[in-house]
Amino acid sequence: QDGRVGTCAFQWRATAEAYEILTVVNDVPGNGDFAHMLDWFYESCQRDKRNLIIRAVWNKRLGAHLLKRGFEYIDNENMIKKFV
């Protein structure tokens, strides 16, 4: 599915246990829309009792940012924030 929060466009899917973010493009980095997108997913995960997975985190700076937000690596490129 396609989604957008402000300048942040993304593709995502739902599984039985998680919402998975597959791609993210933020046309104006640093404006807070990426954080707003994550907040939207956090609320959905809490409401629906699902975890949040971000697939293919190849950018090390992004990985470090997500670690500070409570994510952990599942493997070398995928990250999860547990809500269940």
Please state, in angstroms and rounded to a whole number, the distance separating the CA atoms of residues 47 and 35: 18
> 84 pLDDT band (50/70/90 cuts)?
confident
> What is the per-residue pLDDT for 3?
94
Q: Which residues contact 10 (CB under 8 A, 6 or more apart)?
A: 2, 3, 4, 21, 22, 23, 24, 25, 37
Whole-prediction pTM: 0.92
> What is the per-residue pLDDT for 43?
96
Please state, in angstroms and rounded to a whole number, the distance separating the CA atoms of residues 83 and 51: 5
pLDDT of 2 over the 90 cut: yes
37 sits in the region (left: phi over 0; alpha: psi -120 to 50; else beta) called alpha
Residues 10-48 have pLDDT tens digits of: 999 999 999 999 999 998 988 999 999 999 999 999 999
